[in-house]
Amino acid sequence: MDDVKYAGKVTSNDWIYETRRGEPEYWRKRMLSLCREIIFLSMIDSPNVVKMEEVIKTKSNYYTVLDFCNGGSLQNFLNLHGRFPERFAIKCLQQIISGCSALYEVNVMHRDLKLDNILINFPQQDLLAEADLRTIDLDTEPFVVKIADLGYARELTTKVEGRATSFKGSPLMMAPEQLSTYWGRGSGYSHKIDVWAIGVIFYQMLTGMFMFCVDSQTKRKDAMSELYKKIKKGTWSWPTDITISLNTFDFLNKTMQHDPLLRPTWTEMRQHPIFKDTEASMLNRIRLDIVFDQEPEDGLLFKDRQIFVNTKDPALYSRLYQ
Ligand SMILES: Nc1ncnc2c1ncn2[C@@H]1O[C@H](COP(=O)(O)OP(=O)(O)OP(=O)(O)O)[C@@H](O)[C@H]1O
Ligand SMILES: [Mg+2]
């Protein structure tokens, strides 16, 4: 036996057949979610999507056997390590996009992209305790990032036109068109909701904070409505104590477009300059002290013009001060 380690994801019959109103319909949905995850994982072969080895059924459980990621979820790693240096966050981002592209190749959208559902593995390490994860050297340690938890994933009927209407996933990560379905105003959404979530994830890796959030004291219904307003308006701000490269700023701007059609494609994202010439681009940094307010009808506005810009990039400079 080699020393490859596996993780067993357990889905219990108790969970599938939990007693609720409208039971058969409810059970069918849970069963379908398990089936979808198994089928999608078996269709995808990418270093950046968790690999499924086999599925074992016992009397009371289904075990989905996955390759083990010794760093756990990126959320767990972020909590232990603190916000990621930009260079490391970009490397993670590149692998997340590569995993999502593999999903898209087989016409699947994830619908629940968040740091809890993205795993990290350090192949040159064995088991890692929390203390190891806190101190791991992000500049030198090799790592692989893998997309996991395809429980909410959904097939697109065609790559371009496939749309879904149901409300699935985590509100904090949701694109405006996805949240609209919660209020019954939406006309559906496409895989571009995953592109939006990638922007939110990238922001979170860089700052350690959620891009859109509401006070935790707010009641659930009010919180949803407040969050919806924020996301719909597209207002996000950047912490003044964190410098950012121009490419990172540009990438965030492009992925957080209100109109899904204006968000980049997977190919465009893969080709973004953020992934090229990292050494040079890292030197060209800016310190932002502004709120980005992307009203759909007005385009990008810079509300507060007290901006600290330390950049040689004339294009960005002129955009900020136009
Ligand atoms: N292959 C793996 N290697 C290491 N840890 C894993 C693996 N798969 C899952 N985990 C851990 O288990 C957590 C839950 O996994 P996953 O998201 O796939 O299940 P879930 O049933 O959707 O649970 P949740 O409702 O918490 O999202 C992950 O956030 C991660 O910490
Ligand atoms: Mg999960």
The DSSP secondary structure of 123-187, one letter per residue, reads TT--S--HHHHHH--TTT---EEEE---TT-EE-SSTTT--B-S--S-GGG--HHHHHHHTT---
Return the pLDDT at 303. 36
Q: What is the pLDDT of residues 291-300, one digit of tens each?
A: 555 443 333 3
- Which residue, judged by its Cα, is nearest atom 16 of ligand 1? 149
Q: Which amino acid is at 144?
A: V
Return the pLDDT at 298. 33
Q: What is the pLDDT of residues 158-211, one digit of tens each?
A: 555 566 777 777 888 999 988 887 776 777 888 999 999 999 999 999 999 999
- 194-214 burial: b if 16+ Cβ within 10 Å, else e: bbbbbbbbbbbbbbeeebbeb
Percent of the chain past pLDDT 90, that is, above it, reads 51
Residue 302: which pLDDT band, with cuts at 50, 70 and 90?
very low
Q: Provide the 8-state DSSP code for 191.
A: T
Whether domain 74-282 has CATH 1.10.510.10: yes
User: Would you identify the CATH topology of the domain 6-67?
Assistant: Phosphorylase Kinase; domain 1 (3.30.200)
pTM score > 0.85 for this model?
A: yes
What residue ranges line ligand 1, CB within 6 angstroms?
7, 9, 50, 66, 68-69, 72-73, 76, 116-117, 119, 148-149, 151
- Which residue, judged by its Cα, is nearest atom 25 of ligand 1? 149
Atom from ligand 1 closest to the CA of residue 68? 3
- What tokens were used for 59? 């009397």
User: What is the phi-psi region of residue 299: left when phi exceeds 0, alpha when psi lies from -120 to 50, beta otherwise?
Assistant: left
Cβ neighbours for 79, distance < 8 A, ≥ 6 positions apart: none
Q: What is the pLDDT of residues 69-115, one digit of tens each?
A: 999 999 999 999 999 999 999 999 999 999 999 999 999 999 999 99
- What are the sequence ranges of the domains in the chain? 6-67, 74-282
Per DSSP, the three-state class of 3 is coil
Residue 280: which pLDDT band, with cuts at 50, 70 and 90?
low
- Which ligand does the CA of 75 lie closest to? 1
- Which residue, judged by its Cα, is nearest atom 19 of ligand 1? 149
- Average pLDDT along the chain: 83
